[in-house]
Amino acid sequence: MNETTTRVVAGALIQYEDAILLLRRARDFRGVNTGTGLWEPPGGTVEPGEKIEEALRREVREETGIRVGNDEPELVTVLNYMVEDKQSAVHRFHVLYAVFVDDLPQVRLDDEHDEYAMVRSKAQLDQIKMIDELREFIAELVS
């Protein structure tokens, strides 16, 4: 039987005009041997004692170089899904916030990601590898 852990993940739906920023993972998720090549919004695990909004700002800055303002981010949804390999599983609660930007983001990727894209359509989403729950939700936003 797989060992299961739970993680809370803060994610940013960074929106410029009609597009949403997505990043492609260059390595696996923490705790499981899977995830490389998946596309996702910028964000990451909330550390013990850290507020979700603090994690959101920290992760977005680390992964993209983009600074999320000090205004209260707008909570959009919470998705939950499993990420697993043969030995272990991670139940992820992905807390997604809307972050609106006035200018096209200047993205500086960290070593956790190797590519980024501004996604504008469901057709674009259908061409990339994503966790189904993320794809379905983001498809509603870009349709």
Across the strands, what pairs with 77? 96
Q: Report helix, strand or coil for 2.
A: coil
Q: What is the pLDDT of residues 56-107, one digit of tens each?
A: 999 999 999 999 887 888 999 999 999 988 888 889 999 999 999 989 989 9
Q: What is the pLDDT of residues 24-37, one digit of tens each?
A: 999 888 777 888 99
Q: How many domains does the chain have?
A: 1
Q: What is the CATH number of the domain that holds 115?
A: 3.90.79.10
Domain ranges, residue 77: 3-142
pTM: 0.93
| Average pLDDT across the chain, whole number | 92
Percent of the chain with pLDDT over 70: 99
